[in-house]
Every structure is written in C-alpha cells, then in structure tokens.
Amino acid sequence: MIGRLNHVAIAVPDLLAGVAVYRDTLGANVSQPQPLPEHGVTVVFIELPNTKIELLEPLGENSPIAAFLEKNPAGGMHHICYEVEDIVAAKARLKTQGARVLGDGEPKTGAHGKPVLFLHPKDFTGTLVELEQV
C-alpha cells in the first residue's frame, strides 16, 4: 500500500537557524519558507537526491508543533511521510485494520498541494505517520 518515502519532518524552534544548518553547513538546497496556517506551521523543504527533509516551525498559538517543542525544546523528528496512490482507499484499509486517523479523519491539503492524512503514533511503533497522495 505505501509507496516511496516522501519526507522526514523535523520540528525546529527556529526555522532560520535550521535552514542555515542544512544550507550553509551541509550545502543543501532549501526551499523558501511556506506558511501553512491550516496546519499551524511554517515549512521549508530540503531537497535530497532520494527524498526530502521538511523543517517545521510553529505558526500561531494552537500549533501542534508548539506542543511538540514544549516537550522537545531543541527540536527533533516529528513525523515520517509515505506516498500512497489513493488516500481514500488507504484510509479505508487502515481503519479496517484498527489504525486511527488523526483530526476529523478527512484528508487535508498538505504543503505540496496534495491530500494528506496523519495516523496515530501509537498504532505505528511510536512514530507519527503522514500519508500523502501522489
């Protein structure tokens, strides 16, 4: 069901400092910051030959990333994103297997302009999983 790894997301307390590490220290190509108010984050993507790294910074008081950073002040891995061909079919299959879809259970538009869903970390060995339709 899952396809290729789309990205690994890292929550950071300071997006510009995170960008500097990847761009200046590691020599990576980094996208421009993209605010996503509906998700409560500002993101950048670091392009790698085989996948992407997403840096997330809280946007607004109700950001889920703010809560994550309260527990992990230095930042850290937040979630992993896999591609799926049909997000509605993937959701249906996962729910029949007992997996919990976070939020209202309906796909939202993600940073790439494609439908995404998040799955409960307790159902996936302690890792928050994002599915993105390709």
C-alpha distances in angstroms, 8 versus 30, 40, 55, 89, 97? 14, 18, 9, 23, 24
In this prediction, residue 61 carries a pLDDT of 81
Which residue in the list 54, 57, 83, 130 is annotated as catalytic? 130
List the CATH number of the domain containing 9: 3.10.180.10
- With cut-offs at 50, 70 and 90, classify the pLDDT of residue 62: confident
Query: How many domains is the chain built from?
Result: 1
The pLDDT tens digits for 93-124 are: 999 999 999 999 999 999 999 999 999 999 99
The pLDDT tens digits for 13-48 are: 999 999 999 999 999 999 999 999 989 999 999 999
As a whole number of angstroms, the distance between CA 113 and CA 61 comes to 24
61 tagged catalytic: no
> Residue 84 above 90 pLDDT?
yes
Mean pLDDT, residues 60-82 taken together: 94
Enclosing H/E stretch for 93? helix 87-96
- With cut-offs at 50, 70 and 90, classify the pLDDT of residue 52: very high
Q: Which domain holds residue 128?
A: 5-133
Model pTM score: 0.94
